[in-house]
Chain A
């Protein structure tokens, strides 16, 4: 177990190293980072000053060491547009992202799990097919387009919901739906296959042989065990949601981390782009590590296999 955890942490550190290396080198390979670090329209003298200030005239290895040192001390640079540290901006936006992801996750589980159970109990019948169509659409429609169409219908034509911004629960409905549909589809698929596996197992057959009613077999015996993989996936998906929400947040002007990244791109606010990507990447890598380790704690087969 100890060895497993150590190896996993090793991979995690390797991932973070690769992430930082990619970010560092891509910025330098594709052009002079000084042009990204100064505001557009800066004079050559300003650019030369930046070169000196950030040590861009030194060897790459030294530059990378300096870059890592500042990242590790929590210094992700200063936003040009907001004139505040990037890390501060990131933490101030994160609660909004978490709120949106929580709502989207709640929606995706509320839709995905019951429809997955229904589909597994009625294989090949109407509900199964309806579920398949729902999942296929969820996986095929771009979330930002779903968002735009919802704005058109519910804000422009019907006038029921606010088209953008945040503050009230009403603001949360459309972004949560647009973001959650894709994940509802994947949760539905996994619930269905996991339920089918459990329903075919010996102990469910025994429960049926005992004469338990169908509803009790499904609710008490099958559902509980089928839920484990779904909840694991949901845990990983939660972090992915915060990253994927960039587009949905842009459509609905939701003030989350994704919107921060978009503003960074739109205003050529380079430190914000770099810092946000670094933080989102690190968050994903670390949550993956936690899920892996927790899974190994629950299921010894995983840690023995590797």
Chain B
């Protein structure tokens, strides 16, 4: 009997942050995940998949509509833009820009925010006061205007955008992480580590960090959508990714010029790509939030 009861109690002893175990739960959003993986695949193999050079066009083939419209050819499946560049190839390479910007910016913001959140929550005292006042004041500023200002000052470049987005959005991580650390540091295992003589840095790295990483992942997934929209907005305003690099926001900005004469493909396709990616990231993030982190359900 005792053997059976031990076996039965095993599941409750499973590690607290079973990421893979969590994913097996019901209601997993298959389609959004497939879309995100598809975009990631396209981004990685853009060189092999794109039928044309995304930055060089032929001026004789300007404003070709998609192949199913009159005047379109199968050479340019989704048509061409004002410089005769292939829209499909630009969308494919645009996926790379969106993926790289969103992942690195979210990571950058996540690393900065989580680190400061842990330090702030664990050390407390004046360190906590300084960091949290900084977070409060930062959150009071309008994020988009702030990002536009920074981007306008430092000039358009993809890596500048990553840094600006990181600087703009790190505060959300810091706040959520700090809240978790405050309750974690009262727990037995942290007290035992202190008694065992671990240094503050070891405790933060080995004992606190693994326990807040779940929330950071959930927040990161939800931030992907926000970051992509902000990047597209900056590119659309001409302070984001510089031309002739293919970015979806930049394509929308180009497409706007010829919208009034009905060249719909220059507006609809890039917008649909942004929408698919943001929607998928948001649905996946919502699901992860509910499944992995009950504390974040109120966010």
Contacts and interface: CB of A to CB of B under 8 A. Distances in A.
Interface of A: 11-12, 14-15, 18-19, 22-23, 26-27, 30, 36, 136-137, 139-142, 144-145, 148-149, 151-152, 155-157, 163, 239-240, 243-244, 246-247, 250-251, 261-262, 264-266, 273-274, 277, 280-281, 284-285, 288
B142 A26 contact: no
B275 A136 contact: no
Contacts of B153: 26-27, 30, 36
B267 interface: yes
- Main SS of chain A's interface residues? helix
Contacts, number: 127
Contacts of B275: 140-142, 145
Nearest to A265: B152
B283 interface: yes
A284 B140 CA distance: 7
B271 A273 contact: no
Interface in B252-299: 252, 255-256, 259-262, 264, 267-268, 271, 274-275, 278-279, 282-283
Given A145-B271, A149-B267, A273-B149, A243 B279 contact: no
Contacts of A239: 142
Contact of B267 (A26, A148, A264, A285): A148
B236 interface: yes
Given A14-B133, A281-B141, A285-B140, A140 B271 contact: no
Interface string B135-166: 01110111011101110111100000000000
Contacts of B149: 23, 26, 273-274, 277
Given A26-B153, A148-B252, A142 B274 contact: yes
A277 B146 CA distance: 7
Contacts of B283: 136
B238 interface: yes
Contact of A148 (B136, B154, B239, B271): B271
A277 B236 CA distance: 18
A207 B183 CA distance: 40
The 4 closest A-B pairs by CB, nearest first: A243-B142, A145-B271, A15-B137, A277-B149
A280 B140 CA distance: 11
A300 to B, nearest CB: 22
Contact of B262 (A157, A262, A264): A157
B137 A151 contact: no
B233 interface: yes
B237 interface: yes
Contact of A280 (B142, B152, B264, B268): B142
Contact of B233 (A12, A18, A142, A273): A142
Contacts of A273: 149, 152
A285 B237 contact: no
A277 B145 contact: yes
A274 B150 CA distance: 10
B199 to A, nearest CB: 32
A288 B279 contact: no
26 contacts: A11-B136, A15-B141, A18-B134, A19-B137, A26-B154, A30-B153, A136-B282, A140-B225, A140-B282, A141-B275, A142-B236, A142-B274, A142-B278, A145-B232, A145-B267, A148-B255, A151-B259, A240-B142, A243-B142, A246-B145, A250-B237, A261-B145, A273-B149, A273-B152, A277-B146, A288-B140
A149 B142 contact: no
B238 A266 contact: yes
